[in-house]
Every structure is written in C-alpha cells, then in structure tokens.
Structure 1
Amino acid sequence: MPEYYQDYTGAIIRARWMLEGEIGAGGFGQVYLATDLKTNTIVAVKTSPLKTNPNNSASAEGSLQHESAFYKYLGEQTGIATLHDIGTNDLYSIEFMVCDLLGASLWCLLGRCGHRFSLKTTLMLADQLISRVEMLHSKNIVHRDLKMENIVMGFGKEDGKTAYILDFGLSGYFRPQSDYKTAPGYYIAGTMETACIAWHLNRPQSPKDDLESLAYVLIYLFRGYLPWTTDGGSLIESYSSERTLKLKLSLPIEIICKDMPSEFARHLKYARSLKYEDTPNYGKLQDMYRRLMKRMGYQYDGVYDWDLKDRNIDEIKQPSGVIIPASAQDKPLEQEKPVPQSESLIPETPLAQNKPLAQSSPSPKDNPLKRKNLEDDKENVEQEDEPEEITQPAKKRKIILIKATDEKQPALRRRGRPPKAQPKQAITKNAQEAAMTTKKVAETNEVTNKKASPRKKPVARKKACE
C-alpha cells in the first residue's frame, strides 16, 4: 500500500459529494464512487493528499490542480470526461476532483476476456484512440502516460461503446525542443511496459512519443504481453528500467510484432522514424487499420469481446426456449402452459406411411419406455420385408441332377430337408434299367444254351496219350 493510502468511505465533501467506496487507485491518489446529494446522481471522485509547499506546488505536475486544468481546457471533447468540481478539504487534508463516472478500464476488460483481445476489438479501439491522440495534439497537449489503465470505456448502453482517455497528471503542453533545458520531472511515475524510449532516457516528449506508446498498447491488447513484460517487482526499479530499455532498443520490430498483421509493425516503425518536432500523419495510420479491418471482413458495429462475453453469460443463466416453472413465477401449477410451436414446424401433409393414430408414439407419461425384445424386432423386420399384396405366384424351383466328377464337389441340397447319401459313382435312372435288362437277357441265354446242348463225356486221357 502507498504511504498516502487512507480509506475515506462515508466522507462527505462540501456537503454534496458522499464517498460510497473505492473503485481504483493510482500513483497519485484514489478514485471513489460517490453520490451527488444535490442531483442524486452517481459520479467519480479522485482524491490525493494535500501537499503544503511555499512554492505553490499545487500546480506542479502530478497534482489534481494540474490535471484539472486539462479537463477545463479540453471542455466537451469526445472521449474526455466532464469535470464537475475541484477543490481541497482541510478536514481530511486532501484535494479532490469530481468527474463523470465511466466504465471499466482496458486493463480490467483484458482480465475478463482471457487477457487478450481479438483482432476486431483491437482494430475498433485503434481507430478511436488514434482520433483521441490527434485531438490532444491539435490542442498542443502531449499525454505522456498512455497505458491500458488510463483508457476506459464509457458508462451506459450508448456511451459504453466510446473509449475515453484519463489521467492527465503527467501531461504537458508541447514546446519546441529549444525551449527545454532539462526534461520534466515525471520519471518517478508511469509504466515501463508501454512507455516510449524517450521516457526511459528522461528526455522531453512530443506527439511522436504518444504514438509510440499507443503502438505498444495495441500490441499488448492483441498479443496479451510484450517481450519485456515482467511479473512482479517494482516498476520504478532502475534495473528493470534498464532491462526494458535494452530490449526496446535491441529487439527488431518484426520480433516485437511477431505473428501479428504487418500494420502493427508499420505503426511502430513510423512512430520511431519521426523527429521531435514532426507532425504525425494520423489519417495515414487510421486508413491503414481500416483497410485491414475491411480486408478481414469485420464491421465497425461496436460489439467488443466483453460484450460477447456478457451475452454468453446471460444465455447460460437464462437459456432461450426454457419454460420457467410456475413455482418460480409465483403462479399455481394449473396456469403453466408450454410455449406454442411455430406453424412452420407442423407438417401440412400427412406422412407417407399413413399410419393410424394408434400406432403413434405414446407420451412418456402414458406409456413408459421399455426395452424391446430381439424376437419382436425380428418379427417387425420380417413384416416390413414382406409385401402387402402378391399378384403373381412364385415359380417352383426345378431340381437338376448333375453327374458328379471324380473331384469332390458339393451337391445341391433342398432347403429344409437333410441331404441324401450319394454313391461314389452316380448312375442315372436309364443306365440302371439298361443294366438290369442286359443282366436278365444274359441269364436267359445261359439257361437256354444249357438246355439245347447235351453234356459231352470226357475223352479218356489215356487214349489221347496213345
């Protein structure tokens, strides 16, 4: 905690501004949510310890008196908060400044969106921020502390699409380089991540340096980090400042803008190429980013990443098409009615199967779901496969006997009957009848021959030998 930190919640300043609670803190003070007791509206009050210095340090850089002078000078410019009151309070030893209440800073929105923005959101912010910087430079003002914490979105449905630049505590009027003998003493504050190189070298800054810091901001928004980003540690340590300066000077711009569209690298190169008293070409930068947005097919519709995040959260809380129970609506159950279906979902013609109503699927309340048996499924499949009407009788199949060869071949079988045993050599019916007839004829001829020829006596072997 800073040494000046004190909780002023509940304090009433000038009998009008009642501090409700702290909403932020910076290098020079705290910011409170407050109520205007006169108009009953919500405002933001920034407080800072009151400095007592005989040399009138109230006008020094970093004081609220110094910052309020720029709000008064800028007036009702777009993207600049309206100043309502400025003064001191001796009871609490603070100086205060009352402005319009605005929305969250880009640093807070980064945390809500995964610590990086999409290309579309980054390009829409780039278009607005270039316009804001151009307006400040046209008024001869150099901001000198552009960072995510000092850029906030508006508050409300319409103003929430507008980007605002805050915290003019380190701002100053641009003067020629010949007028500076020494640089302003703002080296004790700021952020090293998005600070320009002149800030590290404690040199006076000009419009080109604001454009350089803006380039770092846009790179950080899209990538979620910078090559010299460090976690923890004090931002005003000399070692960290020297390390960051070495990386900014030594790293090529192509490495700083790695895996990004070339327009970001061109922006940083252009800002570094300018001289101290050069007037930047803001329109050139805007046209470059707008061409990229058109080439990517994006539309400047004012829908940022955090808007989509909030929309998704709302849909999760209340999904569309869900019927809210009557108990949640404090209504009796009898009054519950489902949402009527769209007429386009109801078919005008009946289904092709023309099934009766008895076959329609029952409701879960009347007939609970049961697991079907496999036999029922088979019967249903067989019923679906069979034709409803048979116009022609089925032809009978003819059984053809084929003479088997020596090779083993499967013989034809009838469906539903066991196969008959077949001999090794199949004989046709005609061949069997012919064989039987031949056999009978042979037997008959043999009997006839025996009866016709008498039996001869054998000749004596002895006589034959003589």
Structure 2
Amino acid sequence: MSDGSWFVSTVLSQILIRSLSMPSSVFPLDRLIYHVYLTCLPFNPGSTKHLCSPGAPCILARAFLSPVLDLRLVASSWNTAVLAFQQTKRGAFFEQVEDGVYYPHPWHINTRIRKAVLLSRYRVFYTIASEDGSRGVFLAYDLGEGCAAGRQVVIKAWVENSDFECQREVAAYRALSASAGLGPCKGVPTPVGLPQAQHDPMCDLYALVLPKLGPTLEDLRALLPDGRFDLRMVLVVAIQMIDRYQSIHARGLIHNGMKPANICLAPRDSSDPPGMLYCIDFGFTTELDVHAESPLPSPHRIDAIGNRRFMSVFAHHGISQSQRDDLESLAYLLSYLFHGQLPWDPPSTSTSPTRSSSMSPENRKNQQQQPHVWRLKTATSASVLFRDMDDCFTEFWRDLKGLGHAEMPDYAKIRGRFVRCLDQVERNSGQGEFGWLDVWDRASAS
C-alpha cells in the first residue's frame, strides 16, 4: 500500500467511527467527502493534474481513491453521501479546463457535453463546431490511461440518435470498418472503440469517438501565400483522393462531403507515410447498390446535400448522386486549391467592411444579383476551371463528365495520369519525398 493510500485509509477509518456515532446534521458528510477527495489526490505520484471527476475518476485517481470507494460497500450513510456529492456541481470535476467559458442554455449540446466525463472516459475541452444546439464536433482528453496521458480525441455528438447525420455517419463508419473481404479503408479514421453512437446518460446525448488527426487542407491553405497550393501539392491531393474514393465507392458509399476542411493531414505521432491524407466527415454519405445490374437514379427528388461550392450540378437539382458526383466535387476542389478561388465565388469584398450593415449599396446589390451557383458551374468550361494547370486535369474532367449514373470510373487510368504528371514535376524540380507536415512547418514559420 502506498503512503497516500495508507493515509486515506487511516483517515477514513476514523471518519467512519465518528460518522456512525453522530447524526448527519451534526457531522456533514458531504463537506468531508469534498475535503477527502481533493486532499488525497496530491499524494498520487503518478499525476499532478486531475481532469477527471469523482463520478468517473481516471484509472490513476480510481486506484488512489479506492479506500473512499470501498468504504461505500460497508457504510450506507457514506454511500448515500458520496452519491449526493457526485451529483453536486462542485463534484463534477477535480480541475477546470476552460476558464471563463460559459454555456448558459442547459438544452444546448455545448452545455450537455460538459456536464460530466463523457462515457466515463472523455473530458471535452474545446468546441470545433456546434449547429443549432443539437449536434456538434468537439476535442476531448482521453482519460482511459489516466489524466497524465492527455491523449486527445475528436467527439462527434448528437442530442438525438435519430438525427440523419448521426445515422449516416455511424452507418458509413461501420461499412468502412468491416466490409466483407475488403478490410479497413485506408485513409479513413477508424472510430475509437465501437463504430456506433454510444449514449451517455449523464450528458444525455449520443457520441461517436474518433482519433484526432492533423490539420486540414483548409488550415494549411490559410497559411500559404495567396491561399494557393502549387502544382505538386495539388497532384498529391488528386492521387490520394482518387485512391480514397475508389475504396469508399467499392464499399457502396458516396461521400458527398468533399471540401478542404474534410481532408486532414496525418498526425505527427502516427506511422503513416509523410504524404498521407485522411478523408473525414461522413454525415452526408449515401448508399449505392454497386451490385445492381443497371442502377438508376432515384425517381424522386432528393434534398441537396454537401457544400454548395463543391457539390455536383446534379446534386443542385436533387438527382441522386453516384461515383461521378464525388469525382466532380473533387475536380472543383483541385481547381480551388490551385487558384485559391472558384469561378462562381462571389466577388471579393476584402477591401470593404465585413459587416453587411456597413457594406456599400453597390456591393450589396451585386451579391443579391449573383446567379445561381449551378448555372455558373454549368457555364464554366474546363479551360476556365483548370486554367494554367496541366492537361491531365482537363482529361480527368472529360472522363468524369462522360460517366453515366453509377458507372464505375476507371480509377487506375485517372490516377495514372496524375502520377505521370507528378513524376515529371518532381524530376524537373529535383525535390525529394513529399511530406505534408514539412509543408505545414514551413508555412507556419513564414
């Protein structure tokens, strides 16, 4: 027994004797429990910072606090007091992680997810995004190996498991993780634990836990001069995203989520190759029957899903999407990364005030008169979309535009063009192995 545990055991033995001989009104157990919890933790030499809670202590805190917890088995008054303490606000956490952050609405997911240690293991400390209070994406500490480990994960959470994004996300990760005969999908994050939205009764929400990856391409683009990738970088993105989509489509899924913020660099501590990219966010994923003899578009109009800047023209019109639509979105992404904008983006107003109330009447009128995005996409030729880019991009565009609904693209042919172009660029430049984190470090330092 460690010195700390011996101290706690000795103190608790005296507490038990006194508590059993005095009425609770004279001997306030809840105050005593609060004191014992907070004073015994510093005796733990394995960790000096405890982000967990009395209701869900981490593995190190649980081992040290075992006398406190074991005493509940033999003293009903102590057990009642401990349970009451764990429900109080002061018993929620041992240490705060977000000073000065307040979420006043109890119904909002930002508030719910911070009520307790999620799933008795994860402590949320940052909101990446939260929509209308019913769903969100968060960063959290994984306390499964103790607070000192501090490994970070991403939590996708929903108030209701009937949320269509929740159902699609979970179904997609199940298909991507365990497709018969295909194995795990390379370049797609594998959920931590079960690929399902687990319910947490304390926070009253459903959570899917995913590994934390590196920065997104949108994060990287924001650091680059003029927000533009060079040709080599765009070719690397093209090759890897063709590979990702080939694997995703082989599992009968259409991503519907192509945008720079949904492509992540590999984390620094991973064993992935330095040029590895991950495809994320499957909340808009739809299924495609790849085994049907002649799959047809749905006879019913479907809701437009995806980012309007990058979605296909067919998606704008509510036509069910297939492989060709994912590739069309990828083509728009490649043009965007190279040029820093798309032909249908509204005119830049960076020299004007950002508040709409301060916008000049002329700029406001121009915004209101912008044509529908799908009309601009339809009118934009390949020569405009891929201006100053290699011919392999125009050939890629010609191939995908010739595909029928659910027709299998020739991924090897498309990928081969990009690979040959990349080889030529690297031979001409004499550059070595490509690494995204190296690019990130250089951009961050400049």
TM-score range, shorter chain: 0.5 to 0.7
SS at match of 2:207: strand
In structure 1, distance between residues paired with 2:199 and 2:295: 35
Q: 1:301 aligns to what?
A: 433
Distance 2:154 2:444 in 1: 28
Instruction: Work out the CA distance in 2 between the residues paired with 1:87 and 1:241.
Output: 44
Q: 2:135–2:158: 8 Å Cα contact kept in structure 1?
A: yes
Tell me the TM-score normalized by structure 1: 0.58
Q: 1:26 to 1:195 in 2, by over 3 A?
A: farther
Greater RCO structure (CA 8 Å; 6+ sep) = 2
Paired residue type of 1:210: D
Look up the match of 1:44.
Answer: 154
More displaced, 216-225 or 35-44?
Answer: 35-44
Residue of structure 2 in register with 1:263 after alignment: 392
| Residue 15 (str. 1) matches residue 120 (str. 2) | yes
Relative to structure 1, the CA distance from residue 19 to residue 312 in structure 2 (aligned partners, 3 Å threshold; closer, same or farther) is closer
Aligned residue identity for 1:255: V
Q: Distance in 1 between matches of 2:137 and 2:116?
A: 13
Query: Is the counterpart of residue 120 in structure 1 residue 232 in structure 2?
Result: yes
> Is 1:62 the counterpart of 2:165 in the alignment?
yes
Counterpart of 2:205 in structure 1 is: 94
Alignment counterpart, residue 190 of structure 2, candidates 45, 57, 82: 82
Deviations 1:294-318 (A, max 9, x none): 22235571224x624524766x8xx
Report the secondary structure of 1:33's partner residue: strand
> Which secondary structure state, in structure 2, belongs to the residue aligned with residue 68 of structure 1?
helix
Instruction: Give the aligned residue type for 2:170.
Output: S
Alignment of 1:52-451 (within 5 A): 57-58=162-163, 61-63=164-166, 65-75=167-177, 76-85=184-193, 86-114=197-225, 115-157=227-269, 158-159=271-272, 161-175=275-289, 177-178=295-296, 180-185=298-303, 187=304, 189-230=305-346, 243-298=372-427, 301-304=433-436, 307-308=438-439, 310-311=441-442
- Structure 2 distance, partners of 1:25, 1:221, is 26
Distance 1:256 1:248 in 2: 9
Q: Return the alpha-carbon distance in structure 2 between the equivalents of residues 247 and 149 of structure 1.
A: 23
1:118 shift after superposition: 1.1
Worse-matched range after superposition: 219-228 or 249-258: 249-258
Q: 1:239-279 CA deviation, whole Å, 9 max, x = no partner?
A: 89962111111122211212222222221222112111321
Q: 1:112 to 1:313 in 2, by over 3 A?
A: closer
Return the letter of the residue paired with 2:172.
F
Match of 1:161, SS state, is: coil
1:331-363 Cα distance to aligned partner (Å, 9 max, x none): xxxxxxxxxxxxxxxxxxxxxxxxxxxxxxxxx
SS at match of 2:246: helix
Gaps of 5+ in 1: 52-56, 317-466
For the residue of structure 2 that corresponds to 1:66, the secondary structure is: helix
Which residue matches 1:366?
none
Greater share of helix residues, 1 or 2? 2
Q: Residues 216 and 89 (structure 1 numbering): CA distance in 2 closer, same or farther, change over 3 Å?
A: same
Give the letter aligned to residue 80 of structure 1. V
Q: 2:380 and 2:442 mapped to 1: Cα distance?
A: 40
Q: Deviations over 1:66-85 (max 9, x none)?
A: 31222122123211111124
Q: Distance in 2 between the 1:302 and 1:14 partners?
A: 39
For each residue in 1:394-425, what CA deviation from the matched residue of structure 2 results, as whole angstroms up to 9, or x when unmatched? xxxxxxxxxxxxxxxxxxxxxxxxxxxxxxxx
Q: Distance in 1 between matches of 2:222 and 2:443?
A: 16
Structure 1 position 179, deviation (Å): 6.9
How far off is 1:46 after superposition? 1.1
Matches of 1:309 and 1:215 in 2, distance apart? Answer: 23
Question: Is this contact kept in 1: 2:115–2:202, CA < 8 A?
Answer: no
How many Å apart are 1:222 and its aligned residue? Answer: 1.1
- Equivalent residues of 2:297, 2:319 under 8 A apart: no
**Measured at CA, do residues 167 and 313 of structure 1 come closer, stay the same or move farther in structure 2, by a change above 3 Å?**
closer
Distance (Å, rounded) in 1 between the aligned partners of 2:323 and 2:355 = 30
Of 35, 41, 44, the match for 2:141? 35
- Deviation, structure 1 residue 211: 0.7
Distance 2:257 2:369 in 1: 18
CA distance in 1, matches of 2:369, 2:314: 16
AA at the equivalent of 1:139? R
SS in 1 for 2:426: coil
Distance 2:439 2:283 in 1: 34
For residues 269 and 72 of structure 1, the distance between their equivalents in structure 2, rounded to whole angstroms, comes to 34
Tell me by how many angstroms 1:123 deviates. 0.9
Specify the SS of the correspondent of 1:296. helix
In 1, the alpha carbon distance for the partners of 2:435 and 2:214 equals: 15
Equivalent residue letter for 1:303? G
For residues 309 and 248 of structure 1, the distance between their equivalents in structure 2, rounded to whole angstroms, comes to: 31
Cα distance in structure 1, aligned partners of 2:215 and 2:159: 24
Task: Report the AA paired with residue 275 of structure 2.
Answer: K
Offset from partner CA, 1:160-202 (integer Å, 9 cap, x none): 63211111111111135447232443x2x42111111111111
Counterparts of 2:384 and 2:127, CA distance in 1: 40
CA distance in 2, matches of 1:219, 1:152: 18
Deviations 1:37-78 (A, max 9, x none): 223432111112326xxxxx35xx322x33122212212321
Displacement of 1:17 in angstroms is 1.3
Q: Distance in 1 between matches of 2:156 and 2:256?
A: 20
Q: 1:151 to 1:78 in 2, by over 3 A?
A: same
